[in-house]
Amino acid sequence: MNISENIDRIFKDIEIHSPHPEKVELIAVTKYVDSETIKKVLEGGAKNLGENRVQIITKKNDELSDFPIEKKWHFIGNLQKNKVKYIASFIDMIHSVNKLSLAQEIDKRASEHNKKIDVLLEINLFEEETKEGYDYLELLQDIPALLNLKNINIKGLMTMAPYTDNDDFIRSGFRRIRELKDELNKLYFNDTLTELSMGMSNDYKIALEEGATLIRVGSKIFE
């Protein structure tokens, strides 16, 4: 396992596959590795770290508090309202806002820390029962209330592709998310939605080609 070489390879893929590589950030998904390994990730040039469990991300944040390389924490998993308070002080972006009540709780906790928290709206585009995320019509109903929240910055959309070998199906979904972002920008957000979080280790190249700005990659870094 050569973490630095693997990260370099992913950065090269970003240059090759993204039409706007300067806009793309790699989120290194570190949920299966310990803090000592995360230090090697940071030393390898990946500064954005993704975790999906509150207890783990708070523990790792404490363990890495004195590490000199700057980092940003991204929460990428399903987030329960009653756990937002544990991460609000240090989290940089939450990728998985999938209901108004969660957004309101994030807004409340951000206010307590005199900060704004960047968030993404999670869309269950493929309508999989096993995955979280907004139905698009439900999102449209919530947008007026979401826009009234002062301590969150709604930066874009997030989705997860289904587990399938059908690349054309995956591509069409990623393309649709990009189109939804464009629609929402015209209708509500005045082009302030800039981020698309989509693509993981098995499909990030397709996601890049379809406009992803945040790719969530884990196993490719640690293989």
Q: In terms of residues, how long is the chain?
A: 223
Tell me, what's the pLDDT at 104? 98
pLDDT at 179 over 90: yes
- Domain spanning 3-222: which CATH class is it, in words? alpha beta
Distance, CA of 133 to CA of 125 (rounded, Å): 8
Distance, CA of 58 to CA of 60 (rounded, Å): 6
pLDDT at 78 over 70: yes
Distance, CA of 26 to CA of 221 (rounded, Å): 11
In tens, the pLDDT along 148-158 reads 999 999 999 99
Report pTM. Answer: 0.96
pLDDT at 64 over 70: yes
**Are 117 and 152 a contacting pair, CB within 8 Å?**
yes
Phi, psi of 215 (to 5 degrees): -115, 135
